[in-house]
Amino acid sequence: MSVSATDYIGMWYQARAKLGVDDRIDFMFVDPESGKRRSVILRHRDYDGVAGILVSARRMGMTPPQVPFGKPRPAPPFWKRWQADPVAGAAATPSWRTSEMASESSPEPQIQWLSKAQTSELYRAAQSCNVSLNSLLLLSLHRAVCTILMDRMQSGSWCFPVNMRNAVTVPREEMNLSSAFYLSVAPEDQPADIDNAIRANLKANVHWRYWHLARIGRVIGQSGVDWLCARMLNGKAHCGSFSSLGEWQMDFASAGMAADTVFGCCGPGSPNHPVANGVMVVNGRLSLALRLHPSLGADEVRAKRCLEQWINGLLEWI
């Protein structure tokens, strides 16, 4: 399937920006010895996570990394892109534990990482459960969010982005080429529950439905997207977007950085997707980044606690 060079997905982030919703993505290079961070800040209206990785690497003077495409996924027949959701049941509205006034700007994202040995052990744990690493990551994230940010342990809805680069003809690499679907996650779920839900949504081509809907700007233009976005921001509340960017090999030394530099990225979130995060494995090491949208009224201490809780939950699987 071919795709226009116009970034129709980016129109939504342009519309959000007009409504005062930040669309910055932080791409962070951290020296593990000193903890010193260097960041490249990009706008989501211009790039998704994968595109941003390529741009940030180039701006830092690095040898461009290879994009981890995964196996090709041929486009399904058009009628198969409009099937019913395969997983029944809706998540409860998040009961956020808010205690402070919301600020205007997005706070700096928090970032931590596992060692290569811990990352390998986590992969083995996922394999022993016969699930993907993403299933462990999302379940542990949801439990951490419930524990630190909510009034009670409850189910919640998460946006699950899907990279479309191995399914559509790419007009240019550096743009928004992601779709998504939504998953309901409960604290009592097991990794297999998450894994089965991910696989069911992919098999039912739910991401293809969202791909077409998100590109409605082809028909209604930016003004139409602006109108829709203003109404959707006041719609259903979700926990956030679970942004998993896959496995990468990156040559940090080519830009004069330490060979064991930690790299991570994190989007801005929004009032109805307030928990922004980014996970990726770079040179065999898992990095986790997290940012809480100002609408939660959560300070830096709670953001750090949430990230620590997420990591501790992951380490329990090892």
Cβ neighbors of 238 (< 8 A, separation 6 or more) are 91, 94, 156, 157, 158, 159, 182, 272, 273
Q: What's the whole-number mean pLDDT along residues 53-59?
A: 97
**pLDDT single digits (tens) 280-308:** 999 999 999 999 999 898 888 999 999 99
Q: Residue 208: name the closest of 245, 243, 164 by CA.
A: 164
Q: Is the pLDDT of residue 104 over 70?
A: no
pLDDT value for 3: 58
The residue that leads in pLDDT, 239 or 71, is 239
% pLDDT > 70, the chain: 94
- pTM of the shown model: 0.93
Q: How far is CA 254 from CA 39, 43, 58, 258, 261, in A?
A: 17, 25, 11, 9, 12
Name the pLDDT band for 119 (thresholds 50, 70, 90): very high
- β-pairing verdict for 285-292 and 275-282: antiparallel
Q: How many CB atoms lie within 10 A of CB 32?
A: 13
Q: Is the pLDDT of residue 75 over 90?
A: no
pLDDT value for 105: 57
Give the whole-angstrom CA distance, residue 195 versus residue 207.
16
Give the least confident one: 30-34, 95-99, 192-196, 199-203.
95-99
pLDDT value for 89: 66
pLDDT value for 91: 78
pLDDT value for 86: 77
Q: Is the pLDDT of residue 203 over 70?
A: yes
In sequence order, what are the beta bridge partners of 40?
Answer: 27
Give the whole-angstrom CA distance, residue 258 versus residue 32.
9
CB 15 within 8 A of CB 229: yes
CB 157 within 8 A of CB 182: yes
Give the whole-angstrom CA distance, residue 265 versus residue 125.
24
Q: Is the pLDDT of residue 101 over 70?
A: no
**pLDDT single digits (tens) 150-178:** 999 999 999 999 998 888 877 788 999 99
Give the least confident one: 83-87, 156-160, 229-233, 281-285.
83-87
Q: Which domains are assigned to the chain?
A: 10-63+106-315 (3.30.559.30)
**Residue 218 exposed, middle or buried by CB count within 10 Å (0-12, 13-18, 19+):** exposed
- Alpha helical stretches, state H, 172-299: 191-203, 206-214, 217-232
